[in-house]
Amino acid sequence: MSLKIKILLLSILPLVLVTTVVTLISLKEARQLSEQELETFERNLLEARQTELRNYVTITLASIAQIVADGNPRSVKTRQDVRHLLKTLNYGEDGYFFAYDSRGNSIVHPSQPDLEGRNLYDIQDVKGQYVVRDLLHIAWDGGGFHQYTWRKPSSGKEEEKISYVVNVPGLNWMLGTGIYIEDIATDVAKIRKDVDHNIRNTFFTVLVIVTGAVVAVALLGIAINVREYQMADLRLRKLAHRYVQVQVDQRRQFARDLHDGINQLMVSVKFRLELAREKLEKGNIAIERDLDKGCEVLNMAIQEARRISHDLRPSLLDDMGLRTALVNLMEDFEERSPAEVRCRVFLPDHPVPDDIEISIYRMVQEAISNIERHAKARNVSLDVWYHDERIWIEIKDNGVGFDTDLNSEGIGLIHMRERAELLSGDFSYNSRVGIGTRIRAYFPATINAADLA
């Protein structure tokens, strides 16, 4: 071996070692970051499903309360009406409601009708837990969640299940519903397997390149190190993007359920109360006062349901689209503000993904809220346009502004930045005291979680 080759190898060796060490560290960090995101994804998904269960039970209790209020809780007909209602309510492939009396007798069990009428107080699952007994205790203590194993209707196998149960006022029944956590575990396991497979393949690829050519490894090692860091970051973005899409879909469904279910029910009840009040004798003041109060409370509940539905996902987005929703937002702001408002919105011809739509709407909503509270502006403008496969947003005002060197980002600016970066976009702003503030951001116009998977 010539001296030049030895010198070349000796000179490149430290670079190779550094490249190898950096690559190993980056792979380790990618694995740790992936595990953290997986844990966060699994925890948030489980919490979202639990919140969904609680909301389903709350809505069902409202329907039961209406039936009980219209009849006698002790009558056979009232109880039959409630049983019929529970049997007709279902969601998803394995979602159903069940009910037991205080002694553990099964009253409603749509997935296993052969259990109805049987006393299951002492029934145990494969782990020895007294399922119905424990659920009854939780329901009588104010309601809550409980995990156990139960037969899954779609597979017929014993699977882990989380149920939310409460006591039904007036009937002295335990009402509950649950989800099987097998699907959550399967999704997380699949994602973990894919991440581990990608990291492992990348590691072996780097080793092969290192042993193949020393100089090439030194150069390619650095390139691969940077690429792998970007790939790890992209995988994290995919995971976060998928979670955002799940939230958007779930919130749309819940908003629709609120609007079409409980809201319509309460409107109907309100009209019935008003009709009853009109038919009462004018001399019965006490009854009229009770009915007046009932109408007032129902009206408040209707407004609250509408507010919740709008907060989850503005119905205008689904009904009229992003452009109309933004124009409506600016028109509402102009009506309640002395500022002169200009709004120009030009969107692409193809549909904008749901998560991009809601993020743009919330960003503009947050910016307008900040202007209304702090800016004291006389002129406000919103420009939205499509260019280079991106949707650009610019919001300007000539308000009081602020010194960006002296003031750190507020919670509103932080939220706007996170919304943009979470969906592979960008966010920036500048402001000067006495001049005003300009906010600019962009989102990719064609990003889709299914394409990223």
pLDDT of the residue at 284: 56
145: CB partners within 8 A, 6+ apart: 50, 53, 138, 162, 163, 164
Secondary structure percentages of the chain, helix, strand, coil, to 5: 60, 20, 20
Find out whether 132 and 112 touch, Cβ atoms under 8 Å. no
CB 410 within 8 A of CB 389: no
Checking if the pLDDT of 281 tops 70, the result is: no
Residue 229 is predicted with a pLDDT of 60
The single-letter DSSP state of residue 353 is P
* Distance separating alpha carbons of residues 401 and 378, to the nearest angstrom: 12
- Mean pLDDT confidence for 306-324: 72
Compute the distance between CA of residue 91 and CA of residue 113 in angstroms, rounded to an integer.
Answer: 17
What is the per-residue pLDDT for 279? Answer: 63
Nearest to 206 by CA among 225, 230, 187, 181: 225
450 pLDDT tier (thresholds 50, 70, 90): very low
Query: Is 60 exceeded by the pLDDT of residue 26?
Result: yes
Distance CA 56, CA 196 (A): 37
pLDDT at 272 over 80: no
How high is the mean pLDDT of the chain? 79
What CA–CA distance (Å, rounded) separates 106 from 118?
6
For residue 51, which amino acid is it?
A: T
Do β-strands 158-168 and 173-180 pair in parallel, antiparallel, or remain unpaired? Answer: antiparallel
Task: Choose among 383, 371, 384: nearest CA to 339.
Answer: 371
Q: Is 80 exceeded by the pLDDT of residue 217? A: no
The span from the CA of 17 to the CA of 23, in Å, is 10
In tens, the pLDDT along 377-401 reads 999 999 999 999 999 999 999 999 9
Of residues 21 and 436, the one with the higher pLDDT is 436
Residue 124's pLDDT is what? Answer: 92
| Average pLDDT of the residues in 100-114 | 91
Q: Look at residue 97 and tell me whether its pLDDT is greater than 90.
A: yes
Looking up tokens 């409506």, which residue turns up?
A: 328
Least confident of 42-51, 186-195, 287-296, 433-442: 287-296
Q: In angstroms, what CA-CA distances link 193 with 35, 109, 139, 241, 279?
A: 11, 37, 39, 19, 67
CA distance 149 to 187: 19
> Would you say the pTM of this structure is higher than 0.75?
no
Q: What is the mean pLDDT of residues 310-325?
A: 76
- Residue linked to tokens 């933004």: 326
**Which regions of 288-360 does DSSP assign to beta strands (E)?**
340-345
Cα torsion angle, 219, 222, 224, 227, sign: negative
Average pLDDT for residues 258-282, to the nearest whole number? 65
The upper half-sphere exposure of residue 187, i.e. CA atoms within 13 Å in the direction of its Cβ, equals 16
The residue with greater pLDDT, 128 or 214, is: 128
